[in-house]
Amino acid sequence: MPASRRTPAEPTPLTGSWAFVDLETTGGNPARNRIIEVAVVAVDDGIVVDEWARLVAPGRPIPPSITGLTGIDDAMLADAPAFSGIRDELLERLRGRTVVAHNARFDYGFLRHEFRREGITFRAPVMCTVRLSRALYPGVRGHGLDALIRRFDLPLDARHRALGDARAALSFVDAATRDLGAASVTRAIERQCKGPSLPPQLPADALEGLPHSPGVYLFYGEDDALLYVGKSIDLHDRVRSHLAGDHRTHTATRIAHRLTRIDWQETVGELGALLREARLIKQLRPLHNRRLREAGAQVVIAVAEDADGYLAPAIVPARAPDAWPGDRWYGPFGDRRSARRELGRIADEHALCRRRLGLERGRGTRPCFAYQIGRCRGACTGAEAAVRFNLRLTEALGPRRIRPWPWGGPIAVTEESPDGSHGEYHLIDRWRYLGSTRTEADAHELASDPPETPFDRDHYRLLVRWVERHPRSVVPLDLPNGIPD
Ligand code: SF4
């Protein structure tokens, strides 16, 4: 048994029983891949009381990339037991302890899958040292184990081996305690581990199984009325935070008082969660989602030349199924009043004719009062030529221009799960979100027979931002546009 890094007299944030765990596996997907090595460092009240590690035969060849990373090859596992041969020893070491791991979602997910194959439902409180690092050092970039080892000069005997990495995670907690003091680290651990007190009407197991994954969560009240839909890149943390009152507002309090059931839908990544949240809110119209709920009133300013060659703005609904954000769409706006307000603003700021902008009646064949006081340049009399007027109007509206669709047909925006084990294809055509698939082939199939999908300003805004920030995630599909011109 190794000597502890601390003496019993020193204050520790690790009061109670902890199991620092690390796994080596054949890949990143717990449903498809298997454990090849497991280590547990048991800590009681800050003192290491046991270290245990086992190689595990996965029943399949080790991928060369894994051997390259870990040094574990098929020959080393020739005499190793299968998981069934070590499960009881492992369970004994985990029982009654909080499982601690660096990126705990990965290790905990693998443990649950392996135990489930043995017919055992494994559950334990979990603490993640990546999240602990983020909480303790919020301004610092890099919370991976390599970054922490470098930053804190952590002792390391075998990186990418289970026992070496489990010890390194414990060393990080020790280093942070020396750096920030036991009280700070204790508070951060408590915030992570302490379950919120649930509203009394919510069943005690309401949060069970809530994953540390991206997705959307749905809060229901009495008579299964949908109260609220939200999204997060970590459903578990977000819902707990809701219930713990971390974002306490009047609305949040009302929701918590009425909450009787929680449901959730996992997504592969953040974009999937954002898209699904916006769609579910419009479809299901939860009582407390005001911001994304208004689906029907979206409008744009569409400009087209009139008989005189002057551009004439018209406020048109954006959500008609065959409406298409052509080159001369501006907005989108939540309602007609907002669009008119914008036209009024640019008329005032750019001395543009309010009649031609559709804000006042009449065509004006003679200059009106606005001309006399210098608030227009006389488009009605030809004093301002159409080409000049059009240029000024286009420039004034420019910042609100809906982005032209730069691709020749539909695209898929790809996302990978945080552990790289699976992905998702979000099918987009002319800024309309048509749906998500798990494979590119399915995305092609969906694109070849797209559902009728109206333009949606919330999807538009988040998709524009997303493809700007993640240009490499775009996969153009070799298909013509599915929406008629
Ligand atoms: S003078 Fe003519 S162009 Fe100017 S605001 Fe009046 S109608 Fe419009």
The predicted-structure confidence for 260-278, as pLDDT tens digits, reads as follows 999 999 999 999 999 999 9
Q: Which residues of the chain have pLDDT under 70?
A: 1-10, 194-197, 200, 204, 244-249, 291-297, 319-327, 362-365, 418-420, 479-485
CB–CB of 176/6 below 8 Å?
no
- By most ligand atoms within 8 Å of CB, the mutation choice from 348, 354, 375 for ligand 1 is 354
Active site annotation includes 242: no
What is the structure's pLDDT at 2? 43
Alpha carbon separation from 46 to 16, 29, 80, 126, 246 (Å, rounded): 8, 32, 31, 17, 29
Strand pairing of 98-101 and 17-25? parallel
- By most ligand atoms within 8 Å of CB, the mutation choice from 380, 381, 392 for ligand 1 is 380
What is the structure's pLDDT at 9? 58
Does residue 474 sit in helix, strand or coil? strand
CB–CB of 41/163 below 8 Å?
yes
* Nearest-angstrom CA–CA distance, 242 and 196: 9
State the distance from the centre of ligand 1 to the C-alpha of 330, rounded, in angstroms.
Answer: 23
With a Cβ cut-off of 6 Å, ligand 1 is lined by 353-355, 364, 367-368, 370-371, 376, 378-380
Q: Which fold has domain 215-284?
A: GIY-YIG endonuclease (3.40.1440)
The token duo for 312 is 């004439």
Domain residue extents for the chain: 17-193, 215-284, 299-400, 411-476
Instruction: Given the residues 160, 288, 350, 444, select the one marked as catalytic.
Output: 160
State the distance from the centre of ligand 1 to the C-alpha of 352, rounded, in angstroms.
Answer: 8
- Please write the tens of the pLDDT for every residue from 142-151: 899 999 999 9
The rounded radius of gyration (Å) of the Cα atoms in the chain is 29
**Strand ranges across the sheet with 329-333:** 311-317, 299-305, 329-333
Beta bridge partners, 19, equal: 42, 99
* Nearest-angstrom CA–CA distance, 108 and 100: 9
CB–CB of 219/227 below 8 Å?
yes
State the distance from the centre of ligand 1 to the C-alpha of 379, rounded, in angstroms.
Answer: 6
Total residues belonging to the chain: 485
CB environment 142-172: b (16+ within 10 A), e (fewer): ebebeebbebbebeeeeebbbbbbbbbbbbb
The residue nearest atom 7 of ligand 1, judged by CA position, is 364
Which atom belonging to ligand 1 lies closest to the Cα atom of 362? 7
Task: Supply the pTM of this predicted model.
Answer: 0.58
Which of 138, 163, 162, 141 minimizes the C-alpha distance to 150? 141
The token duo for 59 is 């029943």
CB–CB of 229/282 below 8 Å?
no
CB–CB of 476/407 below 8 Å?
yes
Which atom belonging to ligand 1 lies closest to the Cα atom of 379? 3
* Nearest-angstrom CA–CA distance, 280 and 229: 8
* Nearest-angstrom CA–CA distance, 438 and 426: 9
| 476 prior amide bond cis, ω within 30 | no
Torsion of CA 101, 106, 107, 108, to 10 degrees: 100
State the distance from the centre of ligand 1 to the C-alpha of 371, rounded, in angstroms.
Answer: 6
State the distance from the centre of ligand 1 to the C-alpha of 359, rounded, in angstroms.
Answer: 12
Q: CATH second-level architecture of 17-193?
A: 2-Layer Sandwich (3.30)
Beta bridge partners, 219, equal: 228, 262
**Strand ranges across the sheet with 47-55:** 47-55, 35-44, 17-25, 98-101, 126-128
